[in-house]
Structure 1
Amino acid sequence: MSAHSAPSLTGQTLVITRPAHQAIKLTQRLQQAGATVIACPLLAIEALPCELLLHEANLHAYQLALFTSPNAVEYFFKQLTHPYLPSHFKIAAIGNATSQTLANYGIQVDYAPDTHFTSEELLALPAFAALSPQKILLVKGSGGRTLLADTLRARNMQVISCEVYQRITQPLPTLNIQWEAVSWVMITSLEALQHLVTCWGGAVNPAHVPLLVGSERIAQAAQQLNFKRIHTAHNPSDTAMWEALHRVWNNHNDR
């Protein structure tokens, strides 16, 4: 998006709920557009030692490594003595941010979804769906969905999970956020949405809180939690969230 097309967000108040270290660039961009940004990190990311990585020679037994997020990439390589992968590896990634993080380590991605950055989209890629049975290293955070592993095993893949980080819920900041008066609350993970509602403890009516969310899956969960004002980005990346905000703002101004 060119600089001259960026909306003026003067007078708008936005709450960013990303982990603090992941919110810096988007916060700066929003502030440059004139918005008031409230930092409300609902999750923190902590390293989780993966026993498999204690013996790096184990990696040679795999044919493909699948990274589910930029955090998966960063915390994987932090546990390696030498930040490299065997030359025979094929690489799959979910999302442009994950692919870019791998590129920072000099690693080219072979399979990645183009638009929505979801497990479903990766699994549906013709080239990825056509893979022959092989041994796959699934690099991820603790817990989460089992769709990737379950589907790949149904395709006769041998999938070994390597959990290299965990999400830790954070208390709401002590500052008094007027949730029903903000312009948008930006939510990029299902865990953050669920934790936010838990923190409210019934004191805030979700129907009055406007959400800008990073996926259809989060939007569906928000509807079940009684949110009514929901706008959905194509994916949870900074760029997609910014562009979704830009669309909302244009639609508002066109009325």
Structure 2
Amino acid sequence: MVKPDALTLLNTRPQHQAAHLTRLAEHAGVEVLACPTIEIEPQALPESAATCFKRFDKIVFVSRNAVSVLQQLFQAKGLASPPFGESAQCFAIGQATQQALQAQGWPLASLDIKRFVSEDLLATEALQDLQGQRCLIVKGEGGRPTLKAGLENAGADVEEWLIYRRRPAAFCAQAWSKFQSVAHPVVLASSLQAWSNLVAMVTETETDSRETHPKNAQAWLFLQDIIVFSERIESAIREQGWRGRIFVVPQQSDDGVLSALKQISMQS
């Protein structure tokens, strides 16, 4: 069995989100190499955001970036926090998003669910009969239409605020070079875009790096262990040729990643 300290995690989280996971993993004896593949770029709020926000009955945040960026944008308007209405309820997609909402102290709906995914959220009693209610989805560019369609099917008037966009980060050439030489490399893909960006970066730089790493970098990458945040990501990367082991986190959070690392260590 591989000892925990033989694992090396390629942490592809955005730079501003990576520190907590790095501390957790290193405390558990895992080496961590920072390799952000995504940068978060805030976008402008609607002009009427400060006045219309309080009219929403239910606000769904699709990521912890949605939580932090919304707070940042309202603070830029001179407000301490978003102006929630008296009966407003917040909902989260993802365990990390739930934790971010709790940390902000925003009005969080009390739900008895184990998986913070769109399908399970839409099945809760709180989102069944939404006739006459206004719902807001706070998100970045892209994503699945499942959530919006589900809320509309329940009778809600749904609005989406696209408050940030993701763009590829600069390639972590030094970390990647070291990662190719470690005893037991483990990749992290918290989103399909994070994985796609990594593959694109590796492919684009492969020709330039052949003098130091003559092996086919993408082929080598596709043989490694990878931790992903959902079965959907697992299926997508498997269809695109991933041949290594894939570990789906038990919960979409840093603690979930740590659990997956322990599982990899035990099964190696």
Same fold per TM (> 0.5)?
yes
Preserved CA contact (<8 Å) 2:136 2:158: yes
Q: In the alignment, is residue 221 of structure 1 matched against residue 221 of structure 2?
A: no
Residues 134-188 of structure 1 deviation map (CA, whole Å, 9 limit, x = unaligned): 2111111122222111222222221110111111111321211318964310111
Counterparts of 1:149-228 in structure 2 under 5 Å? 149-175=148-174, 176=177, 177-178=179-180, 182-201=184-203, 203-205=217-219, 206-228=221-243
* Residue aligned with 1:171, SS: coil
> After the TM superposition, which of the residue ranges 200-209 and 66-75 deviates more from structure 2?
200-209
Instruction: Indicate the structure whose relative CO is greater, using CA pairs within 8 Å and at least 6 residues apart.
Output: 2
Preserved CA contact (<8 Å) 2:10 2:34: yes
Residue in structure 2 matched with residue 19 of structure 1 by the alignment = 14
Relative to the length of structure 2, the TM-score reads: 0.83
Counterparts of 1:56-71 in structure 2 under 5 Å? 56-71=50-65
Q: Percent identity, please.
A: 30
Residue in structure 2 matched with residue 30 of structure 1 by the alignment = 25
* TM-fit CA distance, 1:235: 3.2
Unpaired runs of 5+ residues, structure 2, are 204-215
Relative to the length of structure 1, the TM-score reads: 0.87
* Residue aligned with 1:208, SS: coil
Return the letter of the residue paired with 1:144. Answer: G
Unpaired runs of 5+ residues, structure 1, are 1-6
* TM-fit CA distance, 1:18: 0.5
RMSD: 2.3
> After the TM superposition, which of the residue ranges 66-75 and 193-202 deviates more from structure 2?
193-202
Residues 204-232 of structure 1 deviation map (CA, whole Å, 9 limit, x = unaligned): 11541221111111111110111122111
| Separation in structure 2 between the aligned mates of residue 139 and residue 104 of structure 1, nearest angstrom | 17
Residue in structure 2 matched with residue 3 of structure 1 by the alignment = none
> After the TM superposition, which of the residue ranges 131-140 and 69-78 deviates more from structure 2?
131-140
* TM-fit CA distance, 1:95: 2.8
Preserved CA contact (<8 Å) 2:127 2:154: no
